[in-house]
A and B are shown apart, each in its own frame.
Chain A
Amino acid sequence: AQSVTQLDSQVPVFEEAPVELRCNYSSSVSVYLFWYVQYPNQGLQLLLKYLSGSTLVKGINGFEAEFNKSQTSFHLRKPSVHISDTAEYFCAVSDLNTGGFKTIFGAGTRLFVKA
């Protein structure tokens, strides 16, 4: 069964520093990959998605992620973070073997941006 591992439960970082949030998934077959952000007491907002094509995906709020099929990874990066980026970030995978209808979420990474 498909699984998603977010390697860091918490990532503290200073404002304007770069950040990388790591995500690995278990299956090497065709998948769709997503990163979502969740602010306190809110639903999830899509940051970016990889469906096919270029392995470097750019999303909203200056985030980008790179799909690495050989390493089954989809790490999220931002070159310079802001205080407002403090939130919970979830990596998610839809496995095309299940018709792409079931999405599995990672445990989440709490990004805490310090002044």
Chain B
Amino acid sequence: GAVVSQHPSWVICKSGTSVKIECRSLDFQATTMFWYRQFPKQSLMLMATSNEGSKATYEQGVEKDKFLINHASLTLSTLTVTSAHPEDSSFYICSARESGAPYNEQFFGPGTRLTVL
């Protein structure tokens, strides 16, 4: 089956630093990747939709200058949390939609736990 990886699986950083999270589709090409944020015991909140070769589409209320998304290839999307603060601490999950798939079945990565001190 389709596999999506995320790196790192967890990261601890100091307030004010930037953190990059990678999302890779390992055995398929993904024109579209999605970035979600999940708070403890809550559902997934879609942050942005990332399309290969174009600018990401951000959901309302998500700061695009704070959460930089790059989708430079059909197998890699990155999320950079710039000038991270403790309130950015969360579980970040990416998913990928296979190119040409007739419906929006997404394959999810294992998530990245970000803790900002």
Contacts from A to B (Cβ < 8 Å): 32, 34, 36, 41-46, 49, 51, 90, 94, 100-103, 105-108, 110
Contact = CB atoms under 8 A, between A and B. Distances in A.
A94 B104 contact: yes
A32 B43 contact: no
Contacts of A106: 43
B113 interface: yes
Interface in B95-113: 95, 97, 103-111, 113
Q: Give the size range of B's interface with the partner.
A: 20 to 34
B26 interface: no
B46 interface: yes
A42 B32 CA distance: 21
What does DSSP make chain B's interface, helix, strand, loop or mixed?
strand
B104 A90 contact: no
Given A44-B93, A51-B103, A103-B104, 15 more contacts: A34-B105, A41-B113, A42-B110, A43-B4, A43-B111, A94-B103, A94-B104, A100-B104, A101-B97, A101-B104, A102-B46, A103-B34, A103-B106, A105-B43, A107-B43
A108 B42 contact: yes
Nearest to B36: A105
